[in-house]
């Protein structure tokens, strides 16, 4: 029997929730994979198998989901250190660097996951790439709406050596997609390996119209990969 992509996501998500213990402050991710983890945490709370959990949601969507499951919520101001965050990713490279944000929540995700003692990433095997940008899907960059074309052009120039195209993300009715923070997203499509990701990251973040980008470098402590042959757990600093 072949498992669907959604079933693989659920398997990885449930495995990640094994890391959750009572009395933890948890970063709750956003997206189709993280949704399964949040559902599972809600279920374990309801069954009394977990107690005294505080959730820190990475998006309005996750906040609504968590509230509907009666998961107690707070924020980074009240809890500047988070015990564990669980979230999906759009790409994972061999060094466990990630691309996130194709769902549009990259800024809050990065703030919350960057404040976490442990960050467990859940993916199905289709998300594993040889290098960041390798899936030929978008590397998202959150920008201020003010003169976004100017910023998109500057971004394109920064990334020019990697065969880059920059496109404004569109939402409903062909209007610009707006993030939870009231910003736009410029999706960068890359042809080539960027090499030194930290250098590219710094260059992107130096552009004044850029708020944040979707490369999560050296942040994941564990990546759980669900595939046809079962679940693999990859920890930082261990080889593939």
Choose the catalytic residue: 91, 109, 142, 212: 109
Beta bridge partners of 166: 188
pLDDT at position 238 is: 57
Total length of the chain? 240
pLDDT at position 1 is: 73
- Between CA 90 and CA 137 the distance in angstroms is 9
pLDDT at position 87 is: 98
- Section 60-71 average pLDDT: 98
Phi (first) and psi of residue 209, to 5 degrees:
-85, -5
- Between CA 227 and CA 9 the distance in angstroms is 9
Q: Are 234 and 118 in contact (CB under 8 A)?
A: no
Q: Which of 56, 70, 66 is nearest to 109 (CA)?
A: 56
Q: What is the pTM of this model?
A: 0.95
Phi (first) and psi of residue 28, to 5 degrees:
-100, 115
Q: Which of 47, 6, 40 is nearest to 20 (CA)?
A: 40
Coil, strand or helix at 201: helix
The per-residue DSSP string of 114-149 comes to: HTEEEEEEEEEGGGB-SSTTTTSS-EEEEE-STTHH
Q: Which CATH class is domain 138-213?
A: alpha beta
pLDDT at position 115 is: 98
Residue 236 has pLDDT above 80, yes or no: yes
Which CATH topology does 5-127+218-235 take?
Rossmann fold (3.40.50)
Active site residue 212: no
- Section 53-68 average pLDDT: 98
- Going along 36-164, which residue ranges are E strands? 54-57, 82-88, 91-92, 98-99, 116-124, 139-143
Could you tell me the sign of the dihedral formed by the alpha carbons of 120, 126, 127, 128, in that order? Answer: positive
Q: Parse the chain into domains and list their residue ranges.
A: 5-127+218-235, 138-213
pLDDT band at 239 (very low <50, low <70, confident <90, very high): very low
Report residue 161 as tokens: 């050596």
Residues of the chain above pLDDT 90, percent: 87
User: Which residues have a Cβ under 8 Å from the Cβ of 8 and sit 6 or more positions away?
Assistant: 124, 125, 226, 227
Q: Are 51 and 59 in contact (CB under 8 A)?
A: no
For 114, other C-beta atoms within 10 Å of its C-beta total: 14
pLDDT at position 240 is: 44
Structure-token match 């003010």, residue found: 146
């Amino acid at each position: 029997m072949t498992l669907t992509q959604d079933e693989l996501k659920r398997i990885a998500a449930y495995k990640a929730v094994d890391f959750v213990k009572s009395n933890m402050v948890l970063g709750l991710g956003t997206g189709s994979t993280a949704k399964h983890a949040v559902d599972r945490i809600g279920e374990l709370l309801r069954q009394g198998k977990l107690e005294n959990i505080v959730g820190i949601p990475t998006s309005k969507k996750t906040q609504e989901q968590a509230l509907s499951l009666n998961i107690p919520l707070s924020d980074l101001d009240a809890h500047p250190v988070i015990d564990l965050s669980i979230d999906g990713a759009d790409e994972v490279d061999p060094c466990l660097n990630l691309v996130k944000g194709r769902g549009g929540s990259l800024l809050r995700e990065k703030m919350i996951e960057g404040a976490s003692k442990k960050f467990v990433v859940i993916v199905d095997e289709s998300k594993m790439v040889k290098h960041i940008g390798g899936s030929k899907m978008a590397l998202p960059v959150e920008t201020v709406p003010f003169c976004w074309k100017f910023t998109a052009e500057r971004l394109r120039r920064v990334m020019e050596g990697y065969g880059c195209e920059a496109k404004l993300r569109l939402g409903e009715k062909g209007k610009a997609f707006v993030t939870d923070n009231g910003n736009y997203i410029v999706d960068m499509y890359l042809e080539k390996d960027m090499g030194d990701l930290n250098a590219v990251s710094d260059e992107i973040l130096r552009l004044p119209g850029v708020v944040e980008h979707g490369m999560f470098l050296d942040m994941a402590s564990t990546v759980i990969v669900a595939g046809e042959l079962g679940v693999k757990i990859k920890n930082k600093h261990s080889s593939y």
